[in-house]
Amino acid sequence: MITEATKARFAREVAKYPPEQKQSAVMACLSIVQQELGYVSEASEAAIAEYLGMPQIAVHEVTTFYNMYNQQPVGKYKLNVCTNLPCLLRDGGKALEHLEQKLGISMGETTPDGLFTLQQCECLGACADAPVMLVNDRNMCSFMGNDKLDQLVDSLRAAEAKQ
């Protein structure tokens, strides 16, 4: 499962830490696996644990603590809607419901075409811009009312149709 090329990438990350602290590279190794596979499987966690010399449960704890690590395959576009209290008070829950209706899936599911996975997440640190969401763990979207949500989904679908 973990190729020699992947282990070489791990080694570059581990080299950034003193030898007795190589476990500090766990997040970087998880990110590498996710970049290559699209998600972090239990087998990947075991391989990382073995490589870093740490218990597998310790790797799993990191995987499950951070929302950025996918524990199962996700769509091409992962939509994380903030549902923390400030966003809920400013229609974050309604934004999530609107996306569920528009995409025809429930929170935590992926559309049948594999394009979209819809998730809720904790605070994104942009409460004044609520409701907010994060696309593919990288792009923050603010003031996501129904019209903006529709525009986002429609533009991503249109971009896929052109490819």
Give the SS3 label for residue 108.
Answer: coil
123 known member of a binding site: yes
As given in the structure block, the two tokens for residue 108 are 């935590």
As given in the structure block, the two tokens for residue 82 are 């903030």
Q: Which H or E run contains 50?
A: helix 42-52
As given in the structure block, the two tokens for residue 111 are 């559309």
Closest CA to 124 of 77, 67, 69: 67
87 known member of a binding site: yes
Q: Are 90 and 83 in contact (CB under 8 A)?
A: no
What is the C-alpha separation between 134 and 120, in angstroms, rounded?
A: 10
Which residues is 139 bridged to in the sheet? 135
Return binding residues for [2Fe-2S] cluster: 82, 87, 123, 127
Return binding residues: 82, 87, 123, 127
